[in-house]
Amino acid sequence: MHDESTPDWKVLVRERLLPLGLPEQEEQQVVAELAAHLEDCYEEQIETGVSESAACETKLNELFETRRLAKNIQRAKYKEELMNPRTKQLWLPSLVSLTAAMGSLMILILISLQPRFLGRSPLQMVLLPWLALLPFCGAAGAWLSRRGGADLVARVVSGLFPMIVLFSLVGTLIVTRLIVLARPHLPFISIWIALGIILPSAALLIGAAPFLKATKSKGIA
């Protein structure tokens, strides 16, 4: 219940401080916390014999520093956060796993094209080594995502992102083939899906698995 004679600190703080550019709930919490602080300071001054108006004025003077306060709060809340949470939790980890997976595939293909390796099967030279490397790519994506504070879905997506991209591409190719060729070669498509999608997805998931467990929450010690 707000007493008529005492200032409404929440309103005063809100008027002087907002907008802070933070999410609404966070902004409300900051306002409530600062208002509570001012209220305690004000009451303490009243108890020590300072007149109500003088106490109010002193506390309001602190609020006149609001430009600095707002700037400092924004800096503290968003310090070193060059990326928004979505980028940190999903896009960057996904990009890392995609780059690692596609980069390693490209390197393996380039190696297999070396004259001394010509004649060896692509399965031996490209696919098997790639499948062996993919768990690390999945692990990198899921680990970065977990480090960014992502939930389970985002961590799975980050780990499997290379296959999501590849699946979209292969899917488009298959649909195109179905449209262009009246009689598509089904065994060929099945092999493509098995070797190009299912096995690599499993490999990525194996790597991502250790990072899919929930992290310990930060409680007060």
Partner 1 sequence: MLTERVEYRISIFIMKRIRSQIARGSAELAILVLLAEQPLYGFEISKQIEEKTGGALYFTLASLYPMLYDLEKRGWIAGRWEPNVAGRDRRYYGLTPAGKKELAPLRREWNFFFQALDRLAGVTNA
Of the candidate residues 21, 29, 54, 117, the single one contacting partner 1 (CB under 8 A): 29
Q: Is 155 left (phi over 0), alpha (psi -120 to 50) or beta?
A: alpha
Q: Is residue 202 at the binding interface for partner 1, with CB under 8 A as the rule?
A: no
Of the candidate residues 63, 107, 193, 202, the single one contacting partner 1 (CB under 8 A): 63
Binding window for partner 1 (CB under 8 A); candidates: 32-40, 131-139, 158-166, 205-213: 32-40
DSSP letter at 196? I
Distance between start and end Cα atoms, the chain: 34
Q: Say how far apart CA 125 and CA 13 lie, in whole Å.
A: 66
Binding window for partner 1 (CB under 8 A); candidates: 67-75, 106-114, 168-176, 191-199: 67-75
Contact set for partner 1, span 69-128 (CB under 8 A): 69, 72-73, 75-77, 79
Q: Of 103, 97, 98, which Cα lies nearest the Cα of 144?
A: 97
Task: Tokens for 145, please give them.
Answer: 């995502």
Binding window for partner 1 (CB under 8 A); candidates: 94-102, 130-138, 177-185, 213-221: 213-221
- State the nearest-atom distance from the C-beta of 74 to partner 1, in Å: 9
Q: Is residue 38 at the binding interface for partner 1, with CB under 8 A as the rule?
A: yes
Q: Which is nearer to partner 1, 73 or 96 (CB)?
A: 73
Task: Tokens for 121, please give them.
Answer: 């099967």
Instruction: Name the phi and psi angles at 183, rounded to 5.
Output: -120, 90
Q: Is residue 142 at the binding interface for partner 1, with CB under 8 A as the rule?
A: no
Query: What 3-state class would DSSP assign to 123?
Result: helix
Of the candidate residues 11, 36, 111, 178, the single one contacting partner 1 (CB under 8 A): 36
Q: Is residue 32 at the binding interface for partner 1, with CB under 8 A as the rule?
A: yes
Task: Tokens for 10, please give them.
Answer: 């929440």
Residue 195 to residues 111, 123, 206, Cα–Cα distance (Å): 20, 10, 16
Q: Is residue 35 at the binding interface for partner 1, with CB under 8 A as the rule?
A: no
Enumerate residues 6+ apart whose C-beta is below 8 A from 98: 141, 161, 162, 165
Of the candidate residues 41, 50, 131, 165, the single one contacting partner 1 (CB under 8 A): 41
Q: Which is nearer to partner 1, 77 or 177 (CB)?
A: 77
Question: Site residues (CB under 8 A) for partner 1?
Answer: 29-30, 32-34, 36-41, 44, 62-63, 65, 68-69, 72-73, 75-77, 79, 218-221
